[in-house]
């Protein structure tokens, strides 16, 4: 049995910050940000009531409603995030409690922007093994709390949000998937962000915000994502044009157009919300999938190729039948 997505949901914080707004609090401009990234605005949590958990639960409830599944029917909850509210309990356990999903096993996955794909692949493997039948998968981030707001080259890129899907074990759905990691490249996108409470080790005062070598990340993305897609297509014997939509991690519109060019495909096959949402890391692919689904663009039998890349370094892709 494979993972078939039967419902989607998403949640963005109420407040959005435009590039023009950012240019009032730092030395930047809409022209610089938009021309280099395609981003015009991003949603940011703006009150203590908006947390990683609340975004995740809102997206989950929307996905459960769309799927017609009750929380008690879930036997697995996976949350992909690098910005959980607590170290423990996991966000997945907190979601389980909030939903009352009393029969579900729940845990988090840390694979940065590839996290949703890693979680989807994990659910698919659980389904193939017969261990579970009904899963909730959430990608959620409140990266705004781990970003260095004095580093204009990174802070303008990211946004907060959550996307969720409900997957059911089925004869159809996931066709093939691929994923990988290269820890030797970990330094180009890194967030230490943890004070050390050990009595023998000085903690220092560095808060350890997210830092990035943007050009190296760009090069990695435009090489790795097309490689991933090509190898997945080769594995399945499909042509690039057989895919209805490519739902890529929304990091930067220039990365998306470069990938479309490399694959010799029209940009219309690459829906995008990066202009409105920025890079929401693990949440970006499920938010986009929810938007495309709710806009009525998907028909039964459509072939979707999801692919992403991120810190770790990590990358992955999944080809599935809608
Ligand atoms: N506003 C205005 N100027 C800015 C700026 C900002 N927000 N951020 C950086 N600059 C300046 C730099 O200081 C630099 O100025 P200098 O030439 O006087 O030193 C100049 O713009 C060029 O900076 P550079 O870093 O070379 O820009 P770039 O063309 O490489 O674009 C990124 C930077 C981050 C947009 C680009 O590298 C990128 O998109 N990388 C991928 C990042 C990504 O996707 N990360 C997430 C992965 S999951």
DSSP-assigned beta bridge partners for residue 2 = 170
User: Ligand 1: which residues within 6 Å by Cβ?
Assistant: 28, 32-33, 36-37, 113, 152-153, 156-157, 189, 212, 214-215, 217-218, 251-252, 279, 310
Confidence band of 56 (pLDDT split at 50, 70, 90): very high
* Closest listed residue to residue 53, CA positions, set 123, 140, 179: 140
* Closest listed residue to residue 257, CA positions, set 244, 276, 270: 270
Q: Are 309 and 301 in contact (CB under 8 A)?
A: no
Helix (H, G, I), strand (E, B) or coil at 85: coil
Q: Does the pLDDT of residue 206 top 80, yes or no?
A: no
Confidence band of 199 (pLDDT split at 50, 70, 90): confident
**Tens of pLDDT along 173-187?**
999 999 999 999 999
Q: Six-digit token pair at 176?
A: 């093939």
**DSSP letter, residue 139:** E
Atom index in ligand 1 nearest the CA of residue 252 equals: 44
**DSSP letter, residue 72:** G
Beta strands in 52-187 (DSSP E): 76-80, 105-109, 134-141, 161-170, 174-181
**Tens of pLDDT along 138-161?**
999 999 999 999 999 999 999 999
* Closest listed residue to residue 288, CA positions, set 16, 213, 280: 280
Q: What's the CA-to-centroid distance between 37 and ligand 1, angstroms?
A: 9
pTM over 0.75: yes
**Tens of pLDDT along 238-262?**
999 999 999 999 999 999 999 999 9
Q: Are 306 and 285 in contact (CB under 8 A)?
A: yes
């Amino acid at each position: 049995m494979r993972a078939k997505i039967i419902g989607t949901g998403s949640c963005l914080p109420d407040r959005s910050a435009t590039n023009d707004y950012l240019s009032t609090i730092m030395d930047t401009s809409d022209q610089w940000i938009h021309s280099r990234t395609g981003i015009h605005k991003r949603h940011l949590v703006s009150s203590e009531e908006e947390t990683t958990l609340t975004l995740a639960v809102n997206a989950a409830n929307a996905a459960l409603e769309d799927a017609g599944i009750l929380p008690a029917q879930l036997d697995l909850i996976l949350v992909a995030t690098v910005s959980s509210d607590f170290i423990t309990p996991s966000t997945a356990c907190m979601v389980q409690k909030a939903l009352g999903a009393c029969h579900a096993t729940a845990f988090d996955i840390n694979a940065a922007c590839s996290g949703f794909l890693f979680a989807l692949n994990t659910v698919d493997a659980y389904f193939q093994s017969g261990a579970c039948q009904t899963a909730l998968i959430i990608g959620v981030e409140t990266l705004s709390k781990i970003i260095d707001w004095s580093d204009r080259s990174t802070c303008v890129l990211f946004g907060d949000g959550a996307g969720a899907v409900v997957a059911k074990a089925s004869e159809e759905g996931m066709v093939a998937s691929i994923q990988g990691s290269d820890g030797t490249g970990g330094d180009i996108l890194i967030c230490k962000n943890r004070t050390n409470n050990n009595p023998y080790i000085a903690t220092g005062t560095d808060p350890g915000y997210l830092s990035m070598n943007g050009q190296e990340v760009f090069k990695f993305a435009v090489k790795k994502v097309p490689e991933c897609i090509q190898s997945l297509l080769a594995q399945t014997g499909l042509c690039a044009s057989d895919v209805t939509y490519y739902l890529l991690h929304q990091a930067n519109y220039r990365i998306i157009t470069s990938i479309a060019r490399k694959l010799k495909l029209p940009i219309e096959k690459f829906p995008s919300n990066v202009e409105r949402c920025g890079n929401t890391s693990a949440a970006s692919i499920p938010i986009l999938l929810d938007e495309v689904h709710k806009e009525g663009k998907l028909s039964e039998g459509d072939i979707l190729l999801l692919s992403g890349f991120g810190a770790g370094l990590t990358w992955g892709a999944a080809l599935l039948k809608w």
